[in-house]
Structure 1
Amino acid sequence: MTSFVWTATRHCAPAALVLALAGPALAQDLVSELSFAIVETDSEGEERLAAREAVRPGETIEYALVSRNLSEEDALEDVVVGAPVPEGTRLIPASATSSLSALLEVQAELDPQVPGLEWSGLPAFRTIRTDEGDTVTEPLPDAEIVALRWRFEETLPPGGEARTTYRLIVD
């Protein structure tokens, strides 16, 4: 697997990892590592994760985000970790997992009346304008999702870690 490491205080990352946290000491107590691997299937249909730098259209990439509480004394509450869906890929929403109980949300343009990106739980819907000028609500296409985040419903104990994963298809 290829890995990147950030602390919550850094905002410069190859994949633009987003960490939104609550609490006064979290920036120095939480560190996250984002790694990825290509999902390959062998002749017997078994999946394995391969470390490769190049991908081809139609292949699947699995990202794993491991967030660790570096504090030896304090649990972290209201932790939210997020990750991008890079351009040229599509999220497979059903592939998202978390080792802690968490609410999964996706980010996309959901309403033409509201400028910019918005967050929504799944299943997500968007409002579009038809050629006739009517507004219609429809399921959000996976290709429109630009980021995802997990809102942990449990505390991250001192020295503990949470693992989240998600898969993308390369367009």
Structure 2
Amino acid sequence: MKSWLLPLMLLVPLCSQAASTPKEIQARFSQFKVGDKTICLDDVTYANNNKMKVIENGFVVSKRKNVLIYQSNTLFLLGNEVTVNIKAVIESKMGKTSFSNQFKQAMILVDGMDDPARAGEKAKIIQSFEDVISDKHNETPYSSVALTEKGYIITQVESHSTTISECYVTPYKKAETAK
């Protein structure tokens, strides 16, 4: 298969899922409540056709007008032996044409690269993490967001990779007390 065809084929299922309007996205954003949970399953395809799976689990810890603060635990599966686990508190702000995410707290744990021969690879992963969390202009345009019945899909195409994130939202429910 041609290398340029794979990213195109990955996007075909999303063609029927058109991007949502900023008004629709902002309305859904305003419905989030403290305690709401999200789980995102990401498929990342790099320009060299290498693939990576990412699982993100999070929940809303604070909400203000046009701002959500959530805690997340993200697991990057880098082959059979290597995982990267990131725990973070992230502030997400709604804008007119996009939303921005800024890390407030974050920590990284890299497992499976303890061999001194892999120290360079491990350092690159940690440096990449530091670059992401220090990025003050981390914005996602609304044009890459499609709302679904149970959550949303974010599609991001960059020069080095294509990421499709399918996210599910579970609203917070108070436990009922037995009488």
| TM-score in terms of structure 1 length | 0.32
TM normalised by structure 2 equals 0.30
Which one scores higher on RCO, CA 8 angstroms, separation ≥ 6? 1
Higher helix share: 2
